Amino acid sequence: MSPLIQFRNIAKVYGTGNTEVRALWDVNMTIDSGEYCSIMGPSGSGKSTAMNMIGCLDQPTAGEYFFDGQNVAKLAEDELAHIRNRKIGFVFQQFHLLPHLTALENVEQPMMYAGVSSSQRQKRAIAALEQVGLGNRVNNRPNQLSGGQQQRVAIARAIVNNPLLILADEPTGALDTQTTQDVINIFSELNKSGITVVMVTHEPEVARLTNRIIWFRDGEVLNHHLAPEELASVTAMPV
Amino acid sequence: MNFAESLKMATKTLSANKLRSGLTMLGIIIGNASVIAMVGIGEGAQKYVNGQLQDLGPNVLFVVPGNREARQLGDLDIPRTLVLADAKAIATQVPSVAAVAAEKSTQGIVNYRNRNTSTSITGTTQGFLNVRNFEVAQGRFLDDLDERSNRLVAVIGSTLAERLFDNESPLGKQVRIKGITFEIIGVLEKKGSSLGLDYDDSVMIPITTLTSRLVGRTSPYGIEVGFISISAVSQEAMETAEFQITNLLRLRHRITAGDDFYIQSQDTLLDIANTVTGALTLMLAAIASISLFVGGIGIMNIMLVSVRERTQEIGLRKAIGASPKDILSQFLIEAVILSALGGLIGTAFGAGGIFLIAAISPFEAGVSVSAVVVAVGVSGSIGLFFGVVPARQAAKLDPIVALRSA
Ligand SMILES: Nc1ncnc2c1ncn2[C@@H]1O[C@H](COP(=O)(O)OP(=O)(O)OP(=O)(O)O)[C@@H](O)[C@H]1O
Ligand SMILES: [Mg+2]
């Protein structure tokens, strides 16, 4: 397996002096292509900061980040946008669907920035929506869909450009147990098809379904090779 | 993302919030409507004045008392040196001249039996008919004999004739002009007003009679005239005529420096009128442009609010692969659509306004294509100009901050 994500002594510091916050501090970690892993840790431990950095939305204060073999610090704004568009799919806790667009149109958005023709877009968006089980909801707007359905539209949007990586920051944080299960099943399916999935979660039951757990505390990675069955030992740790 | 796609996307976003888009456009609509209407009115006035001047005929020259420069500087102390004898001299001594008329007018009451009306009383000479292109409908016009003998005869304009005499024939009737009894010897054919002078609504008497009986002698040099109108033998002879008349009058007035008269042709009048109406048009357009500018600021304002409101959308778009350029063009296109569409609608309203004005005023309706092109182009550019600040703000947004702002 080749490494897809490599953090080398990554630090992210906000503010200076008294107000300095070390959101990330000397983080080293590697995630290989095809992995299915979760990131856990207490609130404020730097999970979202790390996710944003992995997703090329943010640049580190210090250290080096290699994504798919490229040194991200060396890339221009447009190249970063291109990577986010083609290689990465984001899923957020609050779904972030555009309210005035239908499910289909929401899923089409990333392809618009990829320059896909209108007819191709429609075909691929429908296929993606079918993949997440929403083939019968393509023309509904977000406010006509349940939370679980909205999150599935967001997943369809994340996968429609065939990315290498899905980044999901607490994707089930706003969902109930049943819909959480549906969403996690989709992630498992996607991972089986070869897509790398990295997911932040607070729920041990969700983390347990992934293959590896990376544990954050106070901006540092405490343990980045935690097997799901070892989870109990970590949750017991003082946080 | 290609342009057609961006356009479709922007249209969709704007139509998702129709009320706001409409209100945003309102400023531009009003601005543009006023620009179109004002320019239209200005150009209408220009055409109107030009039309009036063209009525004068192409061969006509006017000799006006006073020094041109002094009058342009606002000197109202006009010398009383231009007299009837000058007109006679021009008629007899300048070969390139076909006909000459002297004119002087005053205001006064004219009554016939129990009817009376205030109108303009013009003292003139026989040449008037030829120079000013009038026809006599009934009777005859004033002649040399009337003039030499200070006769109490009058020729009446058609409008005035209707007012005083209804359907009666005015010929041979006695009217009182400023209390003095005159006999009507002729009625003029209707012609319409020209340059604010409406001969249809006036009465003409010999200029000698006017001076001796109505206004009195006002000049030590002879019978003072208001102006002398002259028709040259042809359009080509105009320059010659002007030159010869100038020489003759300088000689007669013993002028060595600084004329006490000047000569105006239709062309010089047109030039003056065009300068005035052009300035008027420009001023109206400038005033209207201010409202267009204010409309542009309105667009900027709403776009700034819109960027703030849509930070999440912007963050999301960046996360799914929009480059700063994509975001910039998205907001710019929205601003340009608002302003250009507002511009088009405003143009339609402005054109409507012009036709309305044309319907109730003597001005012709004129929506000039150039004004429309300029107005729509300008309002589009205004959108571009005022859209830049909000669009750049959007493009610069940090996606993380934008996404967090839930
Ligand atoms: N823009 C910022 N300015 C200052 N401090 C920030 C900023 N963004 C994040 N932080 C700080 O960095 C630290 C890490 O934040 P982060 O959002 O990564 O935590 P998290 O692990 O995702 O927490 P949660 O589980 O609550 O989502 C926190 O202390 C946070 O207050
Ligand atoms: Mg977080």
> Domain holding A219: CATH number?
3.40.50.300
B343 shares a domain with B282: yes
CA distance B338 to B31: 13
Q: Is A29 helix (H, G, I), strand (E, B) or coil?
A: strand
Q: Which of residues 303-332 of B touch A (CB under 8 A)?
A: 312-313, 315-326
Q: What is each CA distance from B390 to A31, B15, B321, B394, in whole angstroms? A: 39, 19, 20, 6
Q: Which-ligand-closest: CA of A168?
A: 2
Last residue of a domain, one of B228, B259, B290: B259
Tell me which chain B residues have a C-beta less than 8 angstroms from the C-beta of A115. Answer: 1-2
Mean predicted confidence (pLDDT) in B92-99 = 92
pLDDT at B66 exceeding the cut of 70: yes
Among protein residues, the one with the nearest Cα to ligand 1's atom 13 is A23
Distance A238 CA to ligand 1 centre (A): 20
Q: Which residue has the higher pLDDT, A95 or B370?
A: A95
| B70 occurs within a structural domain | no
- ipTM attached to this prediction: 0.93
| Domain shared by B251 and B280, yes or no | no
Q: State residue A76's pLDDT score.
A: 93
pLDDT over threshold 60, residue B144: yes
If you take atom 17 of ligand 1, which residue's CA is the nearest one?
Answer: A48
What is the C-alpha separation between B33 and B372, in angstroms, rounded? 10
Q: Helices B369-396 and B324-360 sit at what angle, rounded to 10 degrees?
A: 150
Q: Is A49 in the pocket of ligand 1 (CB under 6 A)?
A: yes
Asked if residue B406 has pLDDT above 70, the reply is: no
- Is residue B267 a part of any domain in this protein? no
Which residue has its alpha carbon closest to ligand 1 atom 31? A44
- Contact in structure between B222 and B213 (CB atoms under 8 Å): no
pLDDT of residue A238: 45
- Whole-number Å distance, alpha carbon B119 to ligand 2 midpoint, is 91
Has residue A202 been placed in a domain?
yes
Q: A113 CB near a chain B CB, below 8 Å?
A: yes
Report if residue A109 sits inside a domain. Answer: yes
Q: What is the dihedral of CA A21, A23, A29, A32, to 10 degrees?
A: -160
Q: In the prediction, which pLDDT does B248 show? A: 92
Question: At which of B236, B259, B282 does a domain end?
Answer: B259
Query: Does residue A77 lie within any of the structural domains?
Result: no
Residue B337 has pLDDT above 70, yes or no: yes
Nearest to A81 among B5, B321, B406 (CB): B321
Around ion ligand 2, residues with a beta carbon closer than 5 Å are A 48
Are B243 and B287 in the same domain? Answer: no
Backbone angles phi, psi at A158, to 5 degrees: -70, -30
Cα–chain center distance at A100: 24
Give the residue ranges of chain A where pLDDT is below 50.
238-239
Residue A134 belongs to a domain:
yes
Percent of chain B with pLDDT over 70: 98
Task: Identify all chain A residues contacting B5, using CB atoms and an 8 Å cutoff.
Answer: 112, 118
Q: Are residues B314 and B348 in the same domain?
A: yes
B250 shares a domain with B115: yes
Is A24 domain-assigned?
no
Inter-chain residue contact A81 with B400, CB threshold 8 Å = no
- Indicate which of B317, B320, B333, B401 best probes the interface with A, i.e. most A CBs within 10 Å of its own CB: B320
Pick the atom of ligand 1 nearest to A50's CA: 18
| B380 in a structural domain | yes
Please check whether residue A7 lies inside any domain of the structure.
no
What is the residue with the minimal CA distance to atom 28 of ligand 1?
Answer: A44
pLDDT at B51 over 50: yes
Give residue B40's pLDDT. 82
Domain carrying residue A140: 34-53+85-233
Residue linked to tokens 């960027």: B307
How many structural domains comprise chain A?
1
Percent of chain B that is helix, strand, coil (3-state, to 5): 60, 20, 25
Q: Do A114 and B321 lie within an 8 Å CB cutoff?
A: yes
Closest by CA position to B101, among listed B33, B53, B147: B147
Instruction: Tell me, yes or no, whether B362 lies in a domain.
Output: yes
Q: If you take atom 10 of ligand 1, which residue's CA is the nearest one?
A: A23
User: Chain centroid to CA A73: how far?
Assistant: 20
Supply B124's token pair. Answer: 């003139």
pLDDT at A131: 94
Instruction: Tell me which residue in B16, B322, B403 faces A96 most closely, judged by beta carbons.
Output: B403
CA A214 to chain B, closest CA, distance in angstroms equals 22
Do the chains contact at B323 and A113, CB–CB below 8 Å? yes
Classify residue A11: in a domain, yes or no: no
B288: Cα separation from own chain's centroid: 18
Higher pLDDT, B69 or B176: B176
Contacts of B30 (CB under 8 A, 6+ apart): B291, B295, B346
Is B63 within the bounds of a domain?
no
The alpha carbon of residue B319 is apart from the nearest alpha carbon of chain A, in Å, by 6
Q: What range defines the domain where residue B359 resides?
A: 3-52+272-405
Task: Please compute, for residue B136, the number of CA atoms within 13 A of its CA located in the half-sphere on the CB side.
Answer: 20
The stretch B365-372 carries a mean pLDDT of 73
* B-interface mutation test, from A87, A98, A111, most B Cβ less than 10 A away: A98
* B194 and B293 part of one domain: no
B251 and B297 part of one domain? no
Arithmetic mean of pLDDT over chain B: 87
In a domain, A28, yes or no: no
Whether residue B73 lies inside any domain: the answer is no
State the DSSP string of A175-219: S-HHHHHHHHHHHHHHHHTT-EEEEE-S-HHHHTTSSEEEEEETT
Helix pair angle (A147-159, A103-113), 10° resolution:
20
Same domain, B346 and B386: yes
**Beta-strand relationship, B115-124 and B202-206:** parallel
B37: closest CA of chain A, how far (Å) = 38
Q: What is the CA radius of gyration of chain B?
A: 33
Domain total in chain B? 2
Q: With a 6 A CB cut-off, is A53 part of the ligand 1 pocket?
A: no
CB atoms within 10 A of CB A28: 13
Question: Coil, strand, or helix at residue B194?
Answer: strand
Atom nearest to A216 CA in ligand 1: 21
Q: Is B217 within a domain?
A: yes
> With a 6 A CB cut-off, is A151 part of the ligand 1 pocket?
no
Q: Provide the 8-state DSSP code for B211.
A: I
Looking at the complex, does the CB of residue A161 fall below 8 Å from at least one CB of chain B? yes
Does ligand 1 have an atom closer than 6 angstroms to the CB of A46? yes
Model confidence pLDDT, tens digit, residues A164-196? 999 999 999 989 999 999 999 999 999 999 999
Same domain, B95 and B117: yes
A36 forms beta bridges with A197
Residues B296 and B232 reside in one and the same domain: no
Q: Are residues B179 and B146 in the same domain?
A: yes
| Residue A44 Cβ < 6 Å to ligand 1 | yes
Query: Do B192 and B96 share a structural domain?
Result: yes
At which residue do the structure tokens 């020094």 appear? B67
